[in-house]
Amino acid sequence: MTLDDTPLPTPEVGFDVDTEPYWRGAGEGRLVLPRCDECGTYVWIPRPYCPLDLSPTRWVEVSGRGSVYSHSTVHRGERLYAKRAPFVLAYVELDEGPRIMTNIVGCPPDAVTIGMPVRVVFDAVEETMGIAIPRFTPA
Amino acid sequence: MTSLRGAAYVVGVYEHPGRELPDRSVAQIHAEVARGALADAGLTTGDVDGYFCAGDAPGGPIAMADYLGIAARHCDSTDYGGSAYVALVSHAAQAIAAGKCSVALITMGGRPRSGRRRPPAQDNPAYPFEETYGHSNPASYALAAQRHMFEFGTTSEQLAEVKVAASTHAQHNPDALLRKVVTVEEVVGSRLIADPLHLLDCCVITDGGGAAVVVSPEVALRLGRRGAKLLGAGEAVKHTGRSPIDLTYTGAVWSGPRAFEEAGVTPADVDYASIYDSFTITVVMSLEDLGFCEKGQGGRFVLEGALQAPHGRLPYNTDGGSLCNNHPGNRGGMTRLIEAVRQLRGEAHPAVQVPGVDIALVHGTGGWVGTRMGSATLILGQEDA
């Protein structure tokens, strides 16, 4: 399979007051996650209260490094991706622990393997100033 | 604590025969299947005092109780996605046991084939973190399949056996959307939808629906029709709130044991299994999580016709399942329930009727195995089971 250089979709992200710092952080080139004030757990999906103890969370910058936990080369995209397949949907396990859904970019889809080290990259959302979408590429 | 063992009976079921229904409203489909299930039970809407539905019901339970003319004194619209109707049988039994109703009607219907497919709910707080990256139903289950293959050595050929068994059953079902028997080679040779899942690893998309009538033991005794006795029920929500996602198992690891414990039986006692088959991997993971084999052995379990009726080790989905027969409204739990009741009554197609079914299992996986899901398991049996 050859590398498709067409950029992946960068849709307007439907963030709200709970999640805006995640996407704004990405816009500044930083991957930020909420971390529980009480137990120190990094929380995924981002939210203002820790699901382990409902204590408040605080945004902290993380390394942006991790490895592929699972992946799929999607050949029939839907909705935003209806005209942009194949693409790689994946879970990346961050070095800090959370497993987050993302895309793997910057390499041919069939080069992606479980356990492969990756690092974050940021795709700017043109329609919304200061917002970017975190994706991952081979480290 | 009250057990649901023997607390209720499924005395009426009806599967809509249509697979493409462009000229019907979804509400009308609910009415057609309600009429069919009540007729099967020998009851009328005037007898119904409990109404149960899920997210497919237009306008929700109040609107549909109105539309169907049901004087409900108890309603429940718990929405676990496609497994909802399996859970609703349990909820109906709970309400019956508590004296809140005695004749419960559960309806479902949808038109994703000829009408619009429902997009994912945008008010789900997780929506932007998944939709932005192209998450879809097949992609979600593909992520689980990929990890299952990595951890346990499961192969595409093993997954294909799940579809092959479904197709051998569907050939006998005149209503099934896909009646052609397929081979392992045809499944793994079909085009990739989301690697490693091929087109023939995916369920069909159909219009249609189904309904069930659940009644108290006293009502069941008055009816002439043989019912399926509820022996046990379990449900579970699996999510990623308390730990990072683990794609190797489903909520069946909790819903299954809860149902078996209540029923007082084990997987070895199950004569027939209806297992929601949104994708082939869903069945393999469910078999493991329900305890039919060790974790990671599901791919090997399904070999050598193990799932094929009437003589396989565990005959499953004898109507052809969602992989071949019917997946109305993109929600397969109701049709899984209906085929299990047919098997217990001895009313499955003769070619796939399992001889002497005492215990049947119904299992539903709703939502997404790749993110969060609602699982529901029922154990049904004969009167003396």
List the single best residue of B129, B130, B141 to mutate versus A (max A Cβ within 10 A): B129
pLDDT at position B121 = 87
pLDDT at position B117 = 78
How many domains would you assign to chain B? 1
- Alpha-carbon distance of B236 to B256, in angstroms, equals 9
- Alpha-carbon distance of B292 to B383, in angstroms, equals 24
- According to DSSP, the β-strands at B228-238 and A87-94 are unpaired
pLDDT at position A126 = 87
Check CB contact under 8 Å for A99 and B138. no
**Cis omega (within 30 of 0) for bond into A45:** yes
Tell me the pTM: 0.97
- Alpha-carbon distance of A48 to A69, in angstroms, equals 26
Determine contact, residues B374/B278, Cβ cutoff 8 Å. Answer: no
Name the average pLDDT for chain B.
97
Check CB contact under 8 Å for A99 and B244. yes
Question: Least CA distance to A17: which residue of chain B?
Answer: B125
SS3 content of chain B, % helix, strand, coil (to 5): 35, 20, 45
Mean pLDDT score, A81-89: 95
- Is residue B43 assigned to a domain? yes
Please provide the distance, in angstroms rounded to a whole number, between the alpha carbons at the two ends of chain B.
21
- Is residue A56 assigned to a domain? yes
What are phi and psi for residue B314, nearest 5 degrees?
-140, 85
- Alpha-carbon distance of B233 to A92, in angstroms, equals 35
Check CB contact under 8 Å for A13 and B128. yes
Q: Which range, of A1-15, B178-192, B247-261, B324-338, averages the lowest pLDDT?
A: A1-15
- Alpha-carbon distance of A66 to A42, in angstroms, equals 14
For B155, the token pair is: 């192969």
Question: Least CA distance to B194: which residue of chain A?
Answer: A74
Check CB contact under 8 Å for A72 and B134. no
Q: What is the pLDDT confidence band of residue B2, given thresholds at 50, 70 and 90?
A: confident
- Is residue B225 assigned to a domain? yes
Is residue B1 over pLDDT 70?
A: no
Q: How many CA atoms lie within 13 A of A27 on its CB side?
A: 15
Is residue A2 over pLDDT 70?
A: no
For residue A91, the chain B residues in CB contact (below 8 A) are 143, 245, 247
Domain residues for the domain of B47 are 9-113+203-381
Is residue B224 over pLDDT 90?
A: no
Give the residue from A115, A93, A96, A112 showing the smallest Cα distance to A104: A112
The vertex-B96 CA angle with B92 and B99, nearest 5°, equals 140
- Is residue B224 assigned to a domain? yes
Alpha carbon of B228 to those of A16, B309, B334, B341, B351: distances in Å? Answer: 48, 20, 15, 6, 21
- Is residue B150 assigned to a domain? no
- Is residue A69 assigned to a domain? yes
* Shortest alpha-carbon distance between residue B3 and chain A (Å): 31
Q: Does B205 touch chain A (CB under 8 A)?
A: no
Q: Does B125 touch chain A (CB under 8 A)?
A: yes
* Shortest alpha-carbon distance between residue A16 and chain B (Å): 9
- Is residue A3 assigned to a domain? no
- Is residue B186 assigned to a domain? no
- Is residue A10 assigned to a domain? no
Check CB contact under 8 Å for B143 and A89. yes
Q: Does B69 touch chain A (CB under 8 A)?
A: no
Owner of token pair 């029920």? B233
Domain residues for the domain of A112 are 20-138
Using an 8 Å CB-CB cutoff, list residues of chain A that contact chain B.
8-9, 11, 13-15, 18-19, 23, 44-47, 51-52, 69-81, 84, 87, 89-91, 93, 97-103, 109, 114, 133, 135
Name the average pLDDT for chain A.
95
pLDDT at position A106 = 96
Check CB contact under 8 Å for B138 and A76. yes
For B216, the token pair is: 């108290």
Is residue A44 over pLDDT 80?
A: yes
For A112, the token pair is: 């992606």
Q: What is the pLDDT confidence band of residue B119, given thresholds at 50, 70 and 90?
A: confident
pLDDT digits (tens, 9 = 90+) for B54-113: 999 999 999 999 999 999 999 999 999 999 999 999 999 999 999 999 999 999 999 999
pLDDT digits (tens, 9 = 90+) for B4-36: 999 999 999 999 999 999 999 999 999 999 999
What letter represents residue B266's amino acid?
Answer: T
pLDDT at position B116 = 80
pLDDT at position A4 = 61
Q: What percent of chain A has pLDDT over 90?
A: 89
Check CB contact under 8 Å for B139 and A72. yes
B229: domain CATH number is 3.40.47.10
- Would you put residue A130 in left (φ > 0), alpha (ψ -120 to 50) or beta? left
- Is residue B220 assigned to a domain? yes
Q: Of B125, B127, B191, which is closest to A75 when you measure between CB atoms?
A: B191
- Is residue A1 assigned to a domain? no
Determine contact, residues B141/B281, Cβ cutoff 8 Å. Answer: yes
DSSP label at A87?
A: E
- Is residue A47 assigned to a domain? yes
- Alpha-carbon distance of B40 to B36, in angstroms, equals 6
Question: Least CA distance to A53: which residue of chain B?
Answer: B242
Check CB contact under 8 Å for B147 and A114. yes
Is residue A52 over pLDDT 90?
A: yes
How many domains would you assign to chain A? 1
- Is residue B143 assigned to a domain? no
pLDDT digits (tens, 9 = 90+) for B246-281: 999 999 999 999 999 999 999 999 999 999 999 999
A:B CB pairs within 8 Å: 110
Sign of the dihedral through C-alpha B91, B96, B97, B100: positive
The vertex-A46 CA angle with B124 and A131, nearest 5°, equals 90
Q: What is the pLDDT confidence band of residue B286, given thresholds at 50, 70 and 90?
A: very high
- Alpha-carbon distance of B357 to B257, in angstroms, equals 21
- Is residue A119 assigned to a domain? yes
pLDDT digits (tens, 9 = 90+) for B351-382: 999 999 999 999 999 999 999 999 999 999 99
Q: What is the pLDDT confidence band of residue A3, given thresholds at 50, 70 and 90?
A: low
The H-assigned helical ranges of B153-224 are: 156-170, 184-189, 217-222
